[in-house]
Amino acid sequence: MLCTALMSAQEKFTLSGTVSEASSNETLIGVNIIFPELKTGTTTNEYGFYSITLPEGNYEVIISYLGYKSIKETVELSINTSKDFKLTESSEELDEIVITEDVERINIRKPQMSVNALSISTVKQIPVVLGEADVIKSLLLLPGVSSAGEGASGFNVRGGAADQNLILLDEATIFNSSHLFGLFSVFNPDAIKDVKLFKGSIPSRYGGRVSSVLEIFQKEGNNKEFKANGGIGFVASRLLLEGPIKKEKSSFLIGGRASYAHLFLPLFDIENRAYFYDLNTKLNFKINKKNNLFFSGYFGRDVFSINDNFINTYGNSVLNLRWNHLFSDKLFSNLSLIYSDYFYGLELDFVGFLWNSGIQNMNIKYDLKQYVSDKLQINYGLNNTYYIFNPGKIQPSSADSGIIEEQLVKKYANEAAAYIDVQHNVTDKLSLEYGLRLSHFTRLGQEELFVYENNQPVIFDPLTLIYQSAEPIETIARSRNKSITNYTNLEPRLAASYIINNNSSVKASFTRLAQYLHLLSNTSSPTPLDVWTPSGPFVKPQLLNQYALGYFRNIKEGDYSLETEVFYKDLDNRIDYIDGANLIANEAIERVILNGEGRAYGLEILFKKNAGDFTGWLAYTLSKSEQRTPARNANETGINNGQWYNTPYDKTHDISLYGNYKLNEKWSFNTNFIFQTGQPTNYPIGQFEFQGLTIPYYGLRNVERLPNYHRIDIAATLTPRKNADRKLKGEWVFSIYNLYNRRNAASINFRRNQDTGVNEAIRTSIFGIVPAVSYNFKF
């Protein structure tokens, strides 16, 4: 008796399969598969796959996903079973009884914390400037995420710099996430399936950047029927086509977006062009039950030209091939081959030269996911990336130009990593996720390497108190196959969650991260011509420790949720620039860089209303972000006299309020309110004259602040009723950005007015009130 009881208790079977959207077969990421009787469950991975191993039996299973109708089914588990689920969008079921929407509810059990997911439908509803839906601008409404303002590239996470964000599009690194110098982001919202931002507690499968990971997956394409959708806006229009190549087996997706060429013509009385475009493509083949193949690509460019005197082109390209293979119903694997590059080109006719710079990388990675039991899942893998850095190449633009062609010495590096990550439900209450990443960075040889006296490329004059570039004492050559500097780092990751009761939990995490690449940028937010540079003999990798603690609570069965977290980060080897450093076309960047340190800490609160006609959230962040570069020895002062100073992205208070109200099937309304403490800045402590110039001069860095930033945006979406029985479904989005026309300062500069001879403080602001209309359609 006892024996058979034991036997049957041990008899376990695996339920596995994929979850996809019913009408398109588009796989869905992060769908919850819950077994209420066992109080256990799992979620689908990045490719829509799930697997769970349970004792033999009949179970009720609930499949639930944000914005989709939940499915409740009974499964009989007496053999290993493969089962695919199809979900339908809840909004399409207009005539059904209204069910409580199962929206972005927080998973209180998972140890994963400090993560924010945004559904693409939310992204499309958030009012934005000029009506162009924007992934990155939407992220700014979340706690712990800020930007340097309108017209600023990139974003800052928990007091980190913009170059510390790892931005992945279908697993490929995107080096510049902005179009038009930061007015728009490079992601076409129509082509995107899923957006997830890790602000801390970053799993060990990610590495290479110390602040955050923004993971974006493109749609695979509808493999059932041909579909098109698009939009016409003030700034740009977009069109996306998708459909089967072979029905139910393979599909394609191709999406393009382009802005109007003479976008800023009215603002100039001379001939100029400013536009951007991007192209997203994806091919997807289901070879058989066990094998899937994906090709995806992205190509985007910005082009500016003035009078043909000045032509500026830049953008990203990405190409990748991924192969999903199921070794068994418990072992999922993915092999990726990825190429990604960033190009910056400039033609200056009046000086007679062409310029280009950029970065290329080739990445191979192999990730495995082993579903050991419903309590244990192990992820492990390998990753190798080879980089080529082009700091700049100059060429004469015509035969009579005096410019001599020159290629600044290219740099090469290789980054390898191995990781293991274990998700472990230890008891009913305690869950752990622990992992380790071993990363190794090799700076490879190059044609010319400078050698400095005492190994110091930056010297300090103890009398004038100025940091200066040292002259190299020797130039040496090293083969590209030879390593010149190596760095190895062990990066432990640990996260734990403890369930207090059915609705609340506490979580804690520790994350250590290493970053081997640095964006050379000396402005408050990156510019397109900033150049990436690898760590090497003089520039050390950035190393970060982050500690976070959080309390999570679902209120009224998840109709409301509350997430609170505190974090502390300390960062070693944050590069800082000596006064007056020139970063462009600098052959020896080590001569203007010193290794400093940083720290940031803060509190984040996110309160969400998840259900009903009115949904939305309130996010509040209280934080501090500082850096310093102390003296290297007693005969130096350090940068800023070696004192801590506010980073340009230190925002004491950051409040975002987002609301969505669905009045009826025809109208819905959205609004945001944003308040941020003014960005740190400098006011002159005096002025002097030299050779006729009036020069404001400054004291310690970043002690003043710009005025506080705030604004309200509103949008209304009209979905005409006649849509229901039409093939072409359209919607109108009317929006007003910066409703009360506040002139938020992007910067305050000080100068002498040359006409009046009077000194002035000049406020530069970007957008006042901006109304916009856009039309979106699908058929």
Give the three-class secondary structure for 66: coil
Q: Burial, 2: exposed, middle or buried (Cβ in 10 Å; 0-12, 13-18, 19+)?
A: exposed
β-bridge pairing 686-690 and 693-697: antiparallel
Residue count at the site for other proteins (CB under 8 A)? 101
What does the alpha-carbon distance between residue 255 and residue 279 come to, in Å, rounded to a whole number?
6
Nearest distance from residue 579's CB to other proteins, in Å?
A: 4
Q: Residue 587 in contact with residue 394, Cβ under 8 Å? A: no
* Region 656-685 residues binding other proteins, contact defined as CB under 8 A: 679, 681-685
Nearest distance from residue 263's CB to other proteins, in Å?
A: 10
For 444, other C-beta atoms within 10 Å of its C-beta total 21
Q: Does 692 bind other proteins (CB under 8 A)?
A: yes
What does the alpha-carbon distance between residue 156 and residue 145 come to, in Å, rounded to a whole number?
6
What does the alpha-carbon distance between residue 639 and residue 574 come to, in Å, rounded to a whole number?
13
Positive or negative: CA dihedral 696, 700, 704, 705: positive
- Residues in Cβ contact with 50 at an 8 Å cutoff, skipping those fewer than 6 apart: 16, 17, 18, 19, 31, 33, 42, 43, 44
* Region 545-574 residues binding other proteins, contact defined as CB under 8 A: none
- Per CB under 8 A, the list member of 441, 701, 735, 736 interacting with other proteins is 701
What does the alpha-carbon distance between residue 248 and residue 243 come to, in Å, rounded to a whole number?
10
Q: Does 88 bind other proteins (CB under 8 A)?
A: no
Nearest distance from residue 475's CB to other proteins, in Å?
A: 14
- Give 595 or 682: the residue with its C-beta nearer to other proteins: 682
Q: Does 764 bind other proteins (CB under 8 A)?
A: yes
Nearest distance from residue 625's CB to other proteins, in Å?
A: 15
Q: Residue 359 in contact with residue 346, Cβ under 8 Å? A: no
- Give 5 or 634: the residue with its C-beta nearer to other proteins: 634
What does the alpha-carbon distance between residue 279 and residue 240 come to, in Å, rounded to a whole number?
10
- Per CB under 8 A, the list member of 17, 111, 127, 151 interacting with other proteins is 151
* Region 507-546 residues binding other proteins, contact defined as CB under 8 A: 522-525, 527-529
Q: Does 765 bind other proteins (CB under 8 A)?
A: yes
- Give 128 or 417: the residue with its C-beta nearer to other proteins: 128
Q: Does 348 bind other proteins (CB under 8 A)?
A: yes
* Region 618-657 residues binding other proteins, contact defined as CB under 8 A: 631, 634-637, 641, 648
* Region 718-747 residues binding other proteins, contact defined as CB under 8 A: 743, 746-747
Residue 114 is given by DSSP the state S
- Give 101 or 150: the residue with its C-beta nearer to other proteins: 150
Q: Does 575 bind other proteins (CB under 8 A)?
A: no
Q: Residue 708 in contact with residue 675, Cβ under 8 Å? A: yes
Radius of gyration of the chain (CA): 27
What does the alpha-carbon distance between residue 229 and residue 227 come to, in Å, rounded to a whole number?
7
Q: Does 181 bind other proteins (CB under 8 A)?
A: yes
* Region 261-280 residues binding other proteins, contact defined as CB under 8 A: 264, 267-270, 274
- Give 254 or 403: the residue with its C-beta nearer to other proteins: 403
Nearest distance from residue 406's CB to other proteins, in Å?
A: 6
Q: Does 306 bind other proteins (CB under 8 A)?
A: yes
Q: Does 749 bind other proteins (CB under 8 A)?
A: yes
Residue 223 is given by DSSP the state S
- Give 36 or 580: the residue with its C-beta nearer to other proteins: 580
Q: Does 401 bind other proteins (CB under 8 A)?
A: yes
Q: Does 462 bind other proteins (CB under 8 A)?
A: yes
Q: Does 750 bind other proteins (CB under 8 A)?
A: yes
The residues pairing with 603 across neighbouring beta strands, listed in sequence order, are 566, 622
- Give 633 or 664: the residue with its C-beta nearer to other proteins: 633
Nearest to 152 by CA among 763, 745, 749: 745
